[in-house]
């Protein structure tokens, strides 16, 4: 007898960005969060920029157009913080 398992990819319903974390509310009822510092762009952004986001890809991620930042739900679930590029580190110095 074979068992069929339907794997449903996690999808975002909405998010909330606080001073310390990014909180994702998923369509299936789960809530997950990651530290805001996981996104150096968001951690350096203004409150207004942090709140200006759009859910993209049928709930697979979030885009912040003001700061050109994208975060996927998979990245939040599986622990993929954003790293600064070497070019940005040189420009900031």
pLDDT of residue 6: 64
pLDDT on residue 32 = 95
Tell me what pLDDT residue 1 has.
59
- One digit per residue, the tens of pLDDT, for the chain of length 93 reads 566 666 678 999 999 999 999 999 999 999 999 999 999 999 999 999 999 999 999 999 999 999 999 999 999 998 877 777 655 555 554
pLDDT of residue 86: 59
Q: Could you give the domains of the chain?
A: 12-92 (3.30.2020.40)
Predicted local confidence at residue 13, as pLDDT? 96
Per-residue DSSP letters for the chain?
Answer: ------PPPP-EEEEEE-SSEEEEEETTS-EEEEEGGGSHHHHHS-HHHHH--EEETTTTEEEETTTTEEEEHHHHHHT------HHHHHHH-
């Amino acid at each position: 007898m074979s068992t069929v398992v339907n794997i449903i990819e996690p999808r975002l319903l909405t998010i909330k960005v606080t001073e310390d974390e990014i909180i994702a509310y998923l369509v299936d009822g789960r809530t997950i969060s990651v530290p805001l510092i996981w996104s150096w762009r968001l951690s350096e952004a203004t409150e207004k920029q942090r709140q200006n986001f759009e859910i993209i890809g049928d709930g697979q991620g979030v885009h912040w157009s003001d700061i050109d930042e994208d975060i996927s739900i998979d990245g939040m679930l599986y622990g993929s913080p954003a790293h600064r590029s070497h070019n940005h580190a040189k420009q900031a110095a």
